[in-house]
Amino acid sequence: MLLENNPYPQDYRVRREAKALVRAGYQVSVISPRVNRQPVREVLDGVFVCRYPSPPVSRGFLGYIWEYSYSMVAAFLLSLYIFLTKGFDLIHAHNPPDTFAFIILGYKLLGKRFIFDHHDLSPEMYDAQRNGAGNAIIRRLLLFFEKVSFRLANHVVTTNQSYRDIALGRGGVKPENITIVRNGPELDRSVPVEPDPGLRARASTVIGYVGVMGYQDGVDYLLRALSHLKNDLGRKDFYTVIIGRGDAVPDLKALTTRLDLDSHVWFTGYIPLADLIRYLSTADLCVVPDPSNPFNDRSTMIKITEYLAFGKPVVAFDLPEHRVTAQSAALYARPNDELDFARKIAELMDAPEKRQQMGKFGRDRVETTLAWNCQEPNILLAYEKVLQQRT
């Protein structure tokens, strides 16, 4: 497995897939960046992990060129090490980036199989990060790398139906060579605990957000919605805990101050898992403020399934994949309408029985459909298909 965007085992999807494959009898090696003094090589839950030093955080076009060039060279050298010492039959590459195609091409010539795990729509994500004002040349390059990855793949694993449609359309992948494996939570890691007394005492309604905070993730929409909630709807009986980190956090904190929301919003930064579980268990409702754009409209947000696993009702903008995931466990505001988002929050604030019903529906949906144990057979099926092709 090739991974660049996150270290291992911090990338939950890759960790779940790798462990599932080990349980099924596969020998699995993962190549990823190294952070926080992680060992260069180790075995975790039967998975052999090889790590290279993480490149510096990239800034601008030349920064990204350096990051991806360095990462591809490092990953290629470690793949050679594994090829010579352990051997492998199949490469499973996780995007972004889509530039792993440069590594895979050589191994394809040696008869190795390739599964392309399509986590993100790189061209649409690039546009979303720059509010549609990105460089047209870079976007064409991203489309080119994506197409090469699709064409080289013996099989494509996607996260939802929208991504499958992309693989079928602009990727030209045959339907029988695509398997949907959704990002499902692990039920044994999503067990509510007693509420945190300090957080519970802050307000009659606690609002929760968990996730990355880049410029495309819509936390600024949430803050403006909270300003409407306070100033236009006259609600001051709320406290919002925002858990996570990202490039946009300094600007988001500055916006919080400008909107006079400092007494209603807490940016926790990175916190231990036990604290995250306790704060999520305390929340009365959770929010998904990702705005409508070509990337978010097609993407499944992991935070939604995490909220549902904890039995929390959700407020989100009305995006296609949000409805597929949450169904009636969420109230949906008009896309990108921050005042309507505030109204939906206020509606749930005043309806504890409705919150309970929505939360129960969401937890049931996770247990029966969305949890990882419901998705694990799909990744094993994809491997069986690839190995049958090889035979």
Looking at 1.10.3720.10, 3.40.50.2000, 3.40.50.300, 1.10.357.10, the CATH number of the domain 12-184+372-390 comes to 3.40.50.2000
CA 333 – CA 317 distance, rounded (Å): 5
Q: Rounded to two decimals, what is the model's pTM? A: 0.90
Q: What is the pLDDT of residue 257?
A: 98
Domains of the chain, residue spans: 12-184+372-390, 188-370
pLDDT of 133 > 80? The answer is no
Mean pLDDT computed over 272-289:
96
Using one digit for the tens of pLDDT, what is the confidence trace for 91-130? 999 999 999 988 999 999 999 999 999 999 999 998 888 8
Mean pLDDT computed over 301-329:
97
pLDDT band at residue 58 under the 50/70/90 scheme? low
Note whether 12-184+372-390 and 188-370 share their fold. yes
- First vs last Cα of the chain: how many Å apart? 21
pLDDT of 388 > 90? The answer is no
Buried b / exposed e along 202-218 (16+ C-beta atoms within 10 A): bbebbbbbbbebbbbbb
The closest alpha carbon to 378, from 164, 100, 103, 187, belongs to 164
Q: What is the pLDDT of residue 102?
A: 87
Residue with tokens 């300094």: 250
State which H helix or E strand residue 210 sits in: strand 205-210
CATH fold for the domain made of 188-370 = Rossmann fold (3.40.50)
Q: What is the overall mean pLDDT for the chain?
A: 94
Per-residue tokens: 225: 């919605």
- Length of the chain, please? 391
Using one digit for the tens of pLDDT, what is the confidence trace for 13-55? 999 999 999 999 999 999 999 988 899 999 999 999 999 999 8
